[in-house]
């Protein structure tokens, strides 16, 4: 329900649900629901879209969401960012203090947008300087005609913000039926969990049956040994 509310909201309009593996800090991997796409940030008066993955791990909503900043082509993570690790994982007070009764995905995305608007976690590399123009032709030859060069980059002391959403996200993503797709993904996760639970139950039943057989064999062996001792005493 919380994920569906986010997908219907203005802050989650560019997010799409899916299923993807999440690697935990202890090395365990689990398939869970993930909301992939972009969220809006405002930097120097301009609105940009930032690529993110928002995972809903096993145990959610008791456990907080796990978010990552993703990179488009020619983009890089800002080093030593206070809220983003070198792997792109997002660290914020909102998720650190997560409470399922008072917190929500919508508020988390709003908090994320606010934090990254103040300090964008990604930047693009400046374009290389254009090569110098060729030397002039001798006066006795036809004049050299060069195409206009308007690609000179204006470098600045601050790295530029991320490119616009339309530059790396297909416009067709807005046509996805979020509610239906979300329900399908949730059902797929539940089916997978049920399959794993059935497999674990079958292993437990097999182990219990083997233990029962061992106990029967032990009891039979003890009875035979007791009978032999009685026969020995009678002799």
Residues 5-24 have pLDDT tens digits of: 898 888 898 999 999 999 88
Q: Is 36 in contact with 12 (CB distance < 8 Å)?
A: no
pLDDT of residue 102: 92
Longest CA–CA span in the chain (Å) reads 134
pLDDT beyond 70 at 206 = yes
Cα–Cα distance, 22 to 32 (Å, whole number): 7
pLDDT in tens, 149-187: 444 444 444 555 554 444 444 433 443 454 555 556 566
pLDDT of residue 207: 85
CB atoms within 10 A of CB 78: 14
- Whole-model pTM over 0.95: no
Q: Is 39 in contact with 14 (CB distance < 8 Å)?
A: yes
pLDDT in tens, 58-102: 989 999 999 999 998 888 999 999 999 999 999 999 999 999 999
pLDDT beyond 90 at 55 = yes
pLDDT of residue 171: 37
3-state SS, residue 200: helix
């Amino acid at each position: 329900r919380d994920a569906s509310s986010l997908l219907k909201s203005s802050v989650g309009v560019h997010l799409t649900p899916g299923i993807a593996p999440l690697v935990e800090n202890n090395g365990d991997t689990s398939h869970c629901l993930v909301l992939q796409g972009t969220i809006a940030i405002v930097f120097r008066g301009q609105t940009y879209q930032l690529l993110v993955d928002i995972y809903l791990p096993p145990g959610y909503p008791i456990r907080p969401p796990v978010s990552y900043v993703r990179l488009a082509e020619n983009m890089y993570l800002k080093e030593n960012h206070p809220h983003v690790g070198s792997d792109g994982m997002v660290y914020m007070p909102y998720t650190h203090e997560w409470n399922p009764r008072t917190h929500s995905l919508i508020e988390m995305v709003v908090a994320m947008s606010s934090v990254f608007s103040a300090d964008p976690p990604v930047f693009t590399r400046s374009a290389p300087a254009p090569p110098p123009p060729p030397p002039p032709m001798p006066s006795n030859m036809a004049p050299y005609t060069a195409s206009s060069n308007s690609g000179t980059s204006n470098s600045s002391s601050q790295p530029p913000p991320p490119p616009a959403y339309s530059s790396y996200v297909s416009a067709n993503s807005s046509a996805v039926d979020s509610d239906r797709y979300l329900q399908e993904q949730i059902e797929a996760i539940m089916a997978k969990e049920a399959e794993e639970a059935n497999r674990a139950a079958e292993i437990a039943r097999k182990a219990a049956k083997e233990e029962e057989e061992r106990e029967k064999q032990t009891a039979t062996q003890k009875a035979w040994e007791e009978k032999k001792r009685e026969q020995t005493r009678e002799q």
